[in-house]
Structure 1
Amino acid sequence: MTLPKINLRAAILLGSLLIGASPALAEAVLHRGNAGEPQTLDQAQTSINIEEFILKDLYEGLTIYDAAGKIVPGTAESWTISDNGGVYTFKLRPDAKWSDGSPVTSDDFVFSYQRIQDPKTAAGYANILYPIKNAEKVNKGELPVDQLGVRAVDDKTLEITLEQPTPFFLELLAHQTALPVSKASVEKNGASFVQPGVMVSNGAFKLVAHVPNDSLTMEKNPEYWDAANVKLDKVIFYPIDDQAASVRRFEAKEMDLVYNFSADQIERLRQAYGDAVHVSPTLATYYYAFDSRNEPFNDVRVRRALSMAVDRDFLAKEIYSGSQIPAYSMVPPGIENYGEPSKADFADMSQLDREDKAIELMKEAGYGEGGKPLDIEIRYNTNPNHERVATAVADMWKNTFGAKVSLLNLDISSHYAYLQEDGKFNVARAGWVADYADAENFLALSVSSNKTFNYGKFNNVKYDALMKQSYTERDPAARKIILHEAEKILMQEQPIAPLLTQADLWLVADKVQGWQDNAPNQHLSKFLSVSQ
């Protein structure tokens, strides 16, 4: 049967309009490679960055990191701080809503922070919010949860009282542990509140599907207070821990972002994709700790000599293919409120001059050639790169001092359990990735009262006093000076030898707009867009 001529023309016209409109109607979808399957989507149980990347797209805390890695208002549009620095009052955005359309209230934050500290929740990162008054006591079951220092003044005003002034508190509130949950949803759905179709979130996106070990899909949240400025319709995360497979999918244009590819691919990928390869120094330090309880590592001259003899340029270039940079400070560069870290006094010497000075120091201490034998055991957690670093350092110490060096490796859990439970050692590999962008997070590791992370039991009265002073100093400029003085002591004493500043490796397709490398490694999808 033949269509009437007028209808045929209409059909042709309609078809041409649809074809012409299709680019404008195409969904803006970002395909994000993630370095593994998240173990949880419950912010109270989160612990690793591949979970953080997802959760911060779904939820929004009082503060957030912007595209450049700076702290800016999130769900809180503003805040005031009391004169003594002990009370923060946050004003929530009047148009802040959950994805089900209900308002985000101060009660939601009170509920969320109490839930984190409730011993029944068993939150692994509850200590992040310990600066809140009574948080540690609540978490240890010594006080009921209603004694936590958080209070809803009204629906859109939240008051948080601290144990003592905490200059980096706003950074803590941007941590994934401080992301809120919907009180109504958790009370109604229990543990299943994290499921697609059930989850109620307040971030730029909402969860619509999750196929474990395959993909996690989220769509733009129309109820989000800043939805008008969110340029993506959909974000799909792919949990791929096979680095080679991630790169192949990027090259096949199946993924727009790839996180943490193999360093030995840097040069090949740069030649093929140029600026799509991002090697971004991050807030993470790779270091060796010396056990200062044992001879000869209780002698500062020995510690300094061993640290000086390590050729960090070799480690960075030959073992990590330039994906990490030599480090001479415990605090990595890139912390805005700290500036350039205080480096060891030998940082600017040539490696040959360092080695000559190291030999002098070791002789002064009575070890090495012509002195007492130097027997050293290096402990490290099982990993091919860590083994290569330990082997290289062992050769450096052997060639420089005639030391006899042995290696001992354990799986990562056993390695850190041994160090954290006061196991004695000579030299131990360790690493620290910032929980928040403040120098204190790195320098607090070496305070004598830090029983968990001060592996070598460094004990320096002046250092402890400076760190204690930093917690009460409210003037940012004065606090910065105090922390630098502390780091100078640490680098002079060398209870730890910083070796490398780690870098985040990303592949970012040319079609992705809005990407900015930043030291905190914060890349919320709300700040990104894709060109068609």
Structure 2
Amino acid sequence: MNLNRIMTMIVLLAAVGILAACGGEPSPMDEATLPAASPTAPLETPTPTPVPTSLVVCLGEAPNTLYPYGNLNGAAKLILQALYDGPVDHRGYLYQPVLLENLPDFAAGTAALQTVQVAVGDQVVDSSGDVVTLDYGVFIRPAGCLSGECAEPFTGETVEMNQMSALFTLRPGVLWADGTPLTVDDSVFGFTLNADPATPASKFKVERTQSYEALENNTIKWTGLPGFIDPSYQDNFWLPAPRHLWGQSPAADLLTSEFSAAKPMGFGPFSLALTEGNTYTLQRNPAYFRAPEGLPRVDRLVFRVVGQEPQTNLDMLQSGECDVLDPSAAAGVGVAEIAAGMTEAKLFASWATASGWTLLNFGIVPQSYDDDYNIFAGDRPNFFGDVRTRQAVAYCLDRQAVTDEISLGIAPVMDTYLPGDHPLANMQVASYSQDIEKAAELLDAVGWRLDAAGQRAASQIAGIRDGTPLAFEILYPEHPQNARVLEIISQQLAACGIQATPQGLTIEELFATGAEAPVFGRNFEMVYFAWQSSENPPCQLYLSEAIPGQDENLFPYKWGGWNASGWSNETYDAACNAARGSAPGLEPYQENHALAQEILAQELPAIPFFAYQQAALARPDICGLQFDPTAGMLWNIENLAYGSICP
């Protein structure tokens, strides 16, 4: 499993618009110069020609391609959002139909989980989620089994497995920018291009698809491989590709052809009109299926590559040279600058949760305990084996004070691995607002008593020598902001009689792998870092099977495991695996995700801190700007307007 570990600070985006000036009314002619007028033929004042409205998006990097099935960088994705619309938007962590009449749904009968028979030689998804050719001994999940706990080896006899399918119906009246009707066959063509070995786009969904076929009445049917239960099945409608323009070209040629990689045909609010150096000029697409609604609201959209100098780019934003700064162009703009701009009514800011969240991870079971815990053999004291100690540490901390200083209070404190605005966030879990008295009660109950110097020390704690101070090291990735966070944390813990010593390491040192590695070798006491979020709840972060270690029988991922805490809980494992083996619309899905969060918040292998935030910045009279945590800033570019052109 590839879980990217991120250490980036708050990502800042920026967006503004320009209101084009209009010319004055034509001056009337001097009455003396007019010929005698007929009483039945009065002069008419000519109607002034409207001045086109424009929006300029400044990019920190140039797009690496505009081929929609290429290996796209951030700039390319932004431009393609203007050329295409949907086909499915991912907003607020949920899917929304754009080109489709509705999304597939189990209750409506447009999504289904049926049983199919499989035999030796069939392509299936095994219990680990990998695509395999079915053979003797392969572990599979038979029909009705939605988690690894009920997986069993294939014996060679015919067996039934679960198979998921979904129906998608294209909305009528969608046209390509050249006026050609867009059909479900174009989506099948898009799937074919995605599946071609020459196409660099991800093959994850393609490899787990048994069939993708056009049916009658503008309908597509997606069928997954047996054993593949896809939580994002509602997004399994492939981006259409214009078969009438690209159908005669090999997929490999489309990667570099001008008509596909430099000026692709789309169906969105804008069409690419001109590329000059680092400037891409798009114009209103009259064939856009939402044009009757008066969309898009501006006539021209310009993408301009300006580089990555934050102050220069901010100046260009404020002077009107740029209307929008993309994330790479705005990187480095500070939260304080944003706040000042808002206070002075120079900016409008729309905030959204970003893709990372910070935490304090306990070293509950270090590697040295794998041959049993023995303090007389040199094992470090078992500081965190008692859940009450972990809870006490949480009660000692004022996490809100940390986010107030680091993000001016914009980044919300988290209680689980999901931010509070996520629809699957369990808002009923245990929460740990600072409570020094509660922390003291828990520490006293465990046996961590205050000594004369105000330091907590062990007193009759099983396995820990009396007098051992509650003192440990907190590792963190070197960065001035992280150092400040750890300074605050250390001061807060000191108020509870706990001595914490921060120790910064380079990212390479901190996140090395192997038996000697500090974090993923389980050779630490506590560590502060950030995990990257995903669109699905990341309960897998704390699965027992994900603990890194040497013995493959105990640690299936060996030193590639990621649950560095060493914490293990069978009930949590069962809930998480059942949730991951299910999908939205199936009964166990939401309930098991809620249960996993409840257990994690009670057991506390880690203390969540806050989710990173992103800001979309705009002129004060902007309208339509709705920064979304999953869809981003330009998901509704067709609705952006300002001033007098706002609806």
Using a 3 Å threshold, how does the CA distance of structure 1 residues 350 and 29 change in structure 2: closer, same or farther? same
Choose 462-471 or 236-245, whichever is displaced more: 236-245
The aligned residue for residue 113 of structure 2 is 84
The aligned residue for residue 340 of structure 2 is 268
Q: 8 Å contact 2:436–2:496 — kept in the other structure?
A: no
Q: Which string of whole-angstrom CA distances, capped at 9 and with x for unpartnered residues, describes residues 444-476 of structure 1?
A: 433345566545454322112112333436646
Where do 1:353-372 residues align within 5 Å?
A: 353=437, 355-356=439-440, 359-360=443-444, 363=447, 368-369=456-457, 370-372=467-469
Choose 448-457 or 216-225, whichever is displaced more: 448-457
Q: Which string of whole-angstrom CA distances, capped at 9 and with x for unpartnered residues, describes residues 171-193 of structure 1?
A: x459xxx6444455373742225
> Does 2:318 correspond to 1:255?
no
Q: Which has the higher helix share?
A: 1
The aligned residue for residue 250 of structure 2 is 187
Q: 8 Å contact 2:483–2:504 — kept in the other structure?
A: no
The aligned residue for residue 265 of structure 2 is 200
Question: What letter corresponds to residue 591 of structure 2 in structure 1?
Answer: I
In the aligned structure 2, how far is the partner of 1:351 from the partner of 1:210? 60
> Does 2:332 correspond to 1:233?
no
Q: 8 Å contact 1:283–1:333 — kept in the other structure?
A: no
Task: Tell me by how many angstroms 1:525 deviates.
Answer: 0.1
Question: What letter corresponds to residue 418 of structure 2 in structure 1?
Answer: V
Q: 8 Å contact 2:341–2:347 — kept in the other structure?
A: no
Q: Which string of whole-angstrom CA distances, capped at 9 and with x for unpartnered residues, describes residues 273-311 of structure 1?
A: 277133344564222333444154555445434444332
Task: Tell me by how many angstroms 1:118 deviates.
Answer: 5.6
**62, 65, 82: which one pairs with 2:87?**
62
In the aligned structure 2, how far is the partner of 1:48 from the partner of 1:416? 25
Q: What SS does structure 2 have at the residue aligned with 1:76?
A: coil
Where do 1:59-208 residues align within 5 Å?
A: 59-65=84-90, 71-80=95-104, 81-84=110-113, 86-113=164-191, 115-116=193-194, 121-123=199-201, 126-127=203-204, 129=205, 134-135=207-208, 148-153=210-215, 156-162=218-224, 163-170=227-234, 172-173=235-236, 179-182=239-242, 184-185=245-246, 187=250, 189-193=253-257, 198-208=263-273
> Does 2:566 correspond to 1:463?
no
> Does 2:477 correspond to 1:405?
no
Structure 2 stretches lacking a partner, 5+ long: 1-29, 36-43, 105-109, 115-163, 367-381, 458-466, 547-556
Task: Tell me by how many angstroms 1:485 deviates.
Answer: 1.2
Q: 8 Å contact 1:41–1:51 — kept in the other structure?
A: yes
Q: Which string of whole-angstrom CA distances, capped at 9 and with x for unpartnered residues, describes residues 125-173 of structure 1?
A: 554x3xx7x42xxxxxxxxxxx643223369332111344445432x45
The aligned residue for residue 48 of structure 2 is 21
Using the aligned pairs only, state the percent identity.
Answer: 18
The aligned residue for residue 138 of structure 1 is none
Q: 8 Å contact 1:243–1:262 — kept in the other structure?
A: no
In the aligned structure 2, how far is the partner of 1:215 from the partner of 1:305? 56
> Does 2:410 correspond to 1:344?
no
Using a 3 Å threshold, how does the CA distance of structure 1 residues 73 and 394 change in structure 2: closer, same or farther? same
Q: Which string of whole-angstrom CA distances, capped at 9 and with x for unpartnered residues, describes residues 41-86 of structure 1?
A: 45555577655433322223431246x7863212223354244272
In the aligned structure 2, how far is the partner of 1:416 from the partner of 1:44? 32
**379, 404, 410: which one pairs with 2:476?**
379
Q: 8 Å contact 1:197–1:208 — kept in the other structure?
A: no
Task: Tell me by how many angstroms 1:333 deviates.
Answer: 1.7
Task: Tell me by how many angstroms 1:320 deviates.
Answer: 2.0
Task: Tell me by how many angstroms 1:331 deviates.
Answer: 0.9
**50, 56, 64: which one pairs with 1:31?**
56
In the aligned structure 2, how far is the partner of 1:453 from the partner of 1:113? 33
**589, 593, 607: which one pairs with 1:479?**
589
Q: 8 Å contact 2:190–2:241 — kept in the other structure?
A: yes
In the aligned structure 2, how far is the partner of 1:519 from the partner of 1:296? 37
The aligned residue for residue 320 of structure 1 is 407
Task: Tell me by how many angstroms 1:443 deviates.
Answer: 2.6
Question: What letter corresponds to residue 638 of structure 2 in structure 1?
Answer: K
The aligned residue for residue 618 of structure 2 is 508
Task: Tell me by how many angstroms 1:263 deviates.
Answer: 0.8
**321, 335, 349: which one pairs with 1:277?**
349
Number of aligned pairs? 489
Task: Tell me by how many angstroms 1:488 deviates.
Answer: 0.7
Task: Tell me by how many angstroms 1:355 deviates.
Answer: 4.6
Task: Tell me by how many angstroms 1:358 deviates.
Answer: 6.4
Task: Tell me by how many angstroms 1:498 deviates.
Answer: 1.0
The aligned residue for residue 140 of structure 1 is none
Using a 3 Å threshold, how does the CA distance of structure 1 residues 377 and 340 change in structure 2: closer, same or farther? closer
Q: 8 Å contact 1:378–1:390 — kept in the other structure?
A: no
Question: What letter corresponds to residue 218 of structure 1 in structure 2?
Answer: L
Aligned-pair RMSD on alpha carbons?
4.1
Q: 8 Å contact 2:361–2:528 — kept in the other structure?
A: yes
Q: Which string of whole-angstrom CA distances, capped at 9 and with x for unpartnered residues, describes residues 410-463 of structure 1?
A: 34x776565999444534444345543xxx433343334556654545432211
Q: Which string of whole-angstrom CA distances, capped at 9 and with x for unpartnered residues, describes residues 379-411 of structure 1?
A: 32x544233323433444455454352423334
In the aligned structure 2, how far is the partner of 1:33 from the partner of 1:357? 55
Structure 1 stretches lacking a partner, 5+ long: 11-15, 136-146
Question: What letter corresponds to residue 356 of structure 1 in structure 2?
Answer: A
